[in-house]
Structure 1
Amino acid sequence: MEESRLVTPGEVLGKASQVKAGKGAYVSQRNSTVYASLTGRSCFISPPPNSIDQRPTVEVTGHNPHAAVPQPSSIVIARVTKVMPKMASADIMCVGPKSVREKFTGIIRQQDVRATEIDKVEMHSSFRPGDIVKAQVLSLGDARAYHLSTAKNEFGVISAESASGATMVPISWTEMQCPLTGQTEPRKVAKVET
């Protein structure tokens, strides 16, 4: 078996026809290749002798096994870094209650902003750089970013700063207001549990 080696997210670990993806690894449906989903050491685990599938399992063990790593369906808190016409990118800061120790990038695509009237979604009316959003991980996406969704009511912007530097207050599911100036700005606001 191959020696354990240091790998980073997006690094090729093998072809899905030859190895199975274990913890810290995933299979890209696009090219049936197994990639690392975190930084750590890769190791190959031999299948049990009586197993029908004789492919070894490749796992990546992170430097800190307790560090938070986004997984499909995880709830994450992220800071929006860039807003483009069809998507917004964000740096994932927390997975569930745990903060992340390495940089994970997430992308919220136009079709994943909300559940209804998807064709009418305007990214610049939903998010602004610096906004803090609560989202759900849809998939590992490609090697560069996780796909995030804010389609459910409880997901969306949870904290935003107005032009005057004040923390804005949500006044509806599509607007937030500056407490200093009273000015409103459009956002995809997360529904707050009351």
Structure 2
Amino acid sequence: MDEKPLICIPGHRLCLLDKTHVNGNGTYERHGYIYSNLTGVVKIITKNGVNIVEVHSIGEQTLIPTQGDVVTAQINIVTQQFCKCLIKCIGEVVLNRPYRGILRKEDVRATEKDRIEMYKCFRPGDIILARVLPITESHTYQLSTAENELGVVIAHSEAGHSMVPISWTEMQCPKTLIKQSRKVAKIVPENYNPNNND
């Protein structure tokens, strides 16, 4: 008798994570369980006595941000308490449609949280790297930039030029030399070589 394929949706708990079951493509692990990251069909691939649980998507891409993911987002609105943004990528995957994200003042930095001024950290149009926090509201993903590698990666000056980071807290327009405050992400370029004198 043919078994019907098991269809799941994002966030669907599939099984326990143990010595015989591990998570594969299209799934993630949380609190000792394997969950689906996609809408699709559950496949179990057995290799060396271990069952790899995978989810293969049906039709168009349905990847959604999950807790712990690093996402790329564009800032839309900045207030004294939070920034609203649109999540454009999860890791290196560009999304078919953006998701709404919110970055609260207390999640901007790991230290000196009470001294944070949102407008000195982000401006509308900035592109940021952020980590997804546990979901508390439906339809909005809470984000954090409270790690050195997270924060603003692309920003434009008022003159319209791409700014260059000059410290953890400032970026500068290469043409006008005007400086602006930002929560700058510490990015190590892929081709960075400390021994290269170029």
| TM bracket, shorter-chain basis | 0.5 to 0.7
Equivalenced residues, count: 146
Q: Give the 5 Å matches for 1:19-34.
A: 23-25=9-11
For 1:169 and 1:114, how far apart are their aligned partners in 2?
20
For 2:100 and 2:134, how far apart are their aligned partners in 1?
12
Structure 1 unmatched ranges of 5 or more = 1-21, 27-37, 42-60
For 1:114 and 1:128, how far apart are their aligned partners in 2?
16
Paired letter, 2:155: A
SS at match of 1:142: coil
Q: CA deviation at 1:75?
A: 0.5
Paired letter, 1:187: R
For 2:119 and 2:103, how far apart are their aligned partners in 1?
12
Q: TM-score by structure 2 length? A: 0.67
| Structure 2 match to 1:10 | none
Paired letter, 1:114: R
**Does the CA contact (< 8 Å) of 1:68 and 1:101 recur in 2?**
no
**Does the CA contact (< 8 Å) of 2:38 and 2:64 recur in 1?**
no
Match of 2:86 among 85, 91, 94: 91
Q: TM-score by structure 1 length? A: 0.68
Paired letter, 1:123: M
Q: CA deviation at 1:143?
A: 1.4
Structure 2 unmatched ranges of 5 or more = 1-7, 13-36, 41-56, 193-198
Does the alignment pair 1:185 with 2:171? no
Pick closer, same or farther for the CA change 1:62–1:186 going to 2, 3 Å.
farther
CA deviations on 1:10-55 (whole Å, 9 max, x unpaired) are: xxxxxxxxxxxx74248xxxxxxxxxxx9979xxxxxxxxxxxxxx
For 2:137 and 2:107, how far apart are their aligned partners in 1?
16
Q: CA deviation at 1:69?
A: 1.4
SS at match of 1:77: strand
For 1:172 and 1:136, how far apart are their aligned partners in 2?
21
For 1:123 and 1:74, how far apart are their aligned partners in 2?
23
**Does the CA contact (< 8 Å) of 1:162 and 1:168 recur in 2?**
yes
**Does the CA contact (< 8 Å) of 2:170 and 2:181 recur in 1?**
yes
| Structure 2 match to 1:168 | 163
For 2:171 and 2:164, how far apart are their aligned partners in 1?
5
| Structure 1 match to 2:115 | 120
| Structure 1 match to 2:148 | 153
Paired letter, 2:122: F
SS at match of 1:129: coil
Pick closer, same or farther for the CA change 1:98–1:39 going to 2, 3 Å.
closer
Q: Which moved more, 1:132-141 or 1:146-155?
A: 132-141
Paired letter, 1:137: V
CA RMSD across the alignment: 2.7
Does the alignment pair 1:142 with 2:137? yes
CA deviations on 1:138-159 (whole Å, 9 max, x unpaired) are: 1223113100000000000000
For 1:72 and 1:137, how far apart are their aligned partners in 2?
5
Paired letter, 1:164: A
Structure 1 vs Structure 2: percent identity of aligned residues? Answer: 41
